[in-house]
Chains A and B, each alone.
Chain A
Amino acid sequence: MSKKSEFAPSAVGRPPKCSQIRADLGDLSHVDAKSEIDLHIVRLLALNPSLKVRFRNQELASLDISTKEALLDDINSVLGIRPLRKRKT
């Protein structure tokens, strides 16, 4: 994952409590995410460890944009994330 990301491992400050560390976060924290959509996917997965997804070679570079969009669409779908409807006037 990019160092700019808020999910990158921190080397400073007080170490987190054991209860705050999720087993699968270690995998995701090493995923090489280069674009906004990569970051968005990795964030969603980090926030929802029950989805249980790993990436081959810890990167998303082998996937094209439409594949990433399909993955994001499926993640949103199973998490129940839907676009807000426009209010009827």
Chain B
Amino acid sequence: MTSVEQAKQFAEENFPHGPEKLAEKMGIEVRKSVLVGCDGWVLSGPDGIVIRLNSKSPVQRRRFTRAHELGHLLLNVPTVVGESIYDVLKSNDREERDVNLVAGELLIPESIVRRLLPLTPVVASQLTKLAKHAKVSELAAAIRVVHLAGEIGLENAAVVYFKGDVYQLNFSKTLKIEEEWATHLFKEAKRTKPNPIRLPSGNNDDSVTVASIIENPRLSFSTLFVQSLSCEAGSKSTPEEVRRRLETFLFSGDAHFRNQMQGVLGYFRPKCENMTLNDAVSEFFTTKIHRSQGEQLKRLLSVQGRKYVRMRLSEWCET
């Protein structure tokens, strides 16, 4: 039997396919069929181990269930038949929470979270990127960050669940949020979506609460990601906010110019893989701006224009 530590290391080495490869390594047969009333189970007996998954569930949810059932197996905790993902997430049962923690570690190793979310504040758009990278749902990514927040220098974080606009519960090891405050944040964050909302925390200090809505298109509940940070940390713009500001300046309603730039950047992307950022920026401005003229060229060559190009290329270049 594989230990939890060995499993975590194996999952990190095989990221983002850790749970799949681990199941394979452990000789587990994974079966899929349409299940009604539950997302899956794991059974271990003298003739082998079987994990059953609901073939009707979305891919990310199936990945979470697979990792969750592996967690049951690794921790030697009985599987629970009849649970939905919402039951799993809201469970107060300590064993179930431990299982979820292991599932999160298999799906999104700590090193990945540290690399992709080095700074505060963390907002929903960054969680979306993390989720895409790890091939998990935004909610699974958010919960993983909440688990790790205190350990990786993100100070604190919480996920709050709502059904409709009604508060259900919140989940955090590092941040306590009252129902009334959470409901207010949710309403405000809905108004400013996709941008996060920043509000004074109301404590007797200068802390700022940063909240943003996490998309759960396939689940029946909404979630809010919340951090309470010092004024300095909480007021910093996220990379997505900076990018949106630069795009507003650069394109300012000029859809044709925007589409043209997207095309040029997309065409240039493969070249970036073996280039340093400085080389890529230099190459881009030498070879790719001839299509732009007049006001467009002026904006592209401005400080903001250069910053925008640099920001986009930095996603694809070697560090």
Q: Is A80 part of the contact surface with B, judged by Cβ < 8 Å?
A: yes
How would residues 72 to 91 of chain B score, 1 for a CB under 8 Å from any chain A CB and 0 otherwise? 00001111111100010000
Which of A51, A57, A60, A80 lies in contact with B43, CB distance below 8 A? A51
Q: Assess whether B258 is interfacial by the CB under 8 Å rule.
A: no
Sort chain B's interface into a size bin: 20 to 34
- Which one of B45-53, B283-291, B295-303, B311-319 is at the A interface? B45-53
Name the CB-closest residue of B to A48.
B45
Q: Which of A62, A74, A79 contacts B37 (CB 8 A)?
A: A62
Q: A56 near B87 (CB under 8 angstroms)?
A: yes
Residue of B nearest to A80 (CB): B47
Which residues of the partner chain B approach A67 to less than 8 Å between Cβ atoms? Answer: 34-38
Taking each of A24, A50, A53, A64, which has the highest tally of chain B beta carbons within 10 Å of its own beta carbon? A53
Q: Does A77 contact B (CB under 8 A)?
A: yes
Contact call B48/A71, Cβ cutoff below 8 A: no
**Across the interface, do A70 and B52 meet the contact criterion of CB distance under 8 Å?**
yes
Q: Does A75 contact B (CB under 8 A)?
A: yes
Contacts of A53 in B (CB 8 A): 41, 43, 78-81
Given contacts A67-B38, A78-B49, contact A56 B43 (CB under 8 A): no
| In the complex, per-residue mask of B190-216: 1 if CB is within 8 Å of any chain A CB, else 0 | 000000000000000000000000000
Residue of A nearest to B49 (CB): A78
CB contacts (< 8 Å) of B41 on chain A: these are: 53, 71, 74
Are A63's CB and B38's CB within 8 A? yes
Question: In this assembly, does A17 line the interface, its C-beta being within 8 Å of a C-beta of chain B?
Answer: no
Q: Which residue of B lies closest to A78 (CB)?
A: B45
Q: How many pairs of residues, A versus B, come closer than 8 Å at their CB atoms?
A: 89
B29 shortest CB reach to chain A, Å: 8
Q: In the bound complex, do residue A55 and residue B82 qualify as a contact, i.e. CB atoms below 8 Å apart?
A: yes
Contacting residues of chain A (35-55) with chain B, CB-CB under 8 angstroms: 48, 50-55
Q: Within the assembled complex, what's the spacing in Å between the Cα atoms of A52 and B41? A: 11
Q: Which residues of B contact A60 (CB under 8 A)?
A: 81-82
Check if B44 is an interface residue, CB within 8 A of chain A: yes
| Cβ-defined contact, A80 with B79, below 8 A | no
The one of A62, A66, A75, A78 that contacts B38, using a Cβ cutoff of 8 Å: A62
Task: Please tell me if B31 contacts chain A, counting CB pairs below 8 Å.
Answer: yes
B69–chain A nearest beta-carbon distance, Å: 12
Known contacts A63-B36, A63-B38; A71/B52 CB under 8 A = yes
Contacts of B37 in A (CB 8 A): 62-64, 67
Q: How far, in Å, is A47 (CB) from chain B's closest CB?
A: 12
Decide if B248 is an interface residue (CB 8 Å cutoff): no
Distance in angstroms from B31 CB to nearest chain A CB is 7
Tell me the nearest residue of chain B to A52, going by C-beta: B78
A78 to chain B, nearest CB (A): 3
Chain B residue contacts of A54, Cβ below 8 A = 78-81
Contact B43 A78 (CB under 8 A): yes
Q: Are B36 and A50 in contact (CB under 8 A)?
A: no
Residue on B with the closest CB to A41?
B81
| In the bound complex, CA of A74 to CA of B35 (Å) | 13
Greatest chain B CB density within 10 A among A53, A56, A74 is at: A74
CB-defined interface of B237-277 with A at 8 Å, one 1/0 digit per residue?
A: 00000000000000000000000000000000000000000
In the complex, A48 Cα to B50 Cα: how many Å? 15
Whether B47 lies near A78 (C-beta < 8 A) is yes
A66–B37 Cα distance when bound, in Å, is 11
Q: Return the 9 tightest CB-CB contacts between A and B, nearest first.
A: A78-B45, A56-B82, A80-B47, A62-B37, A52-B78, A64-B36, A63-B37, A74-B50, A67-B35
Could you list 12 examples of A-B contacts with CB < 8 Å? Answer: A53-B79, A54-B78, A55-B80, A56-B83, A60-B82, A70-B33, A74-B31, A74-B52, A77-B29, A78-B46, A78-B49, A79-B45
Identify the A interface with B (CB < 8 A): 24, 48, 50-57, 59-60, 62-64, 66-67, 70-71, 74-75, 77-80
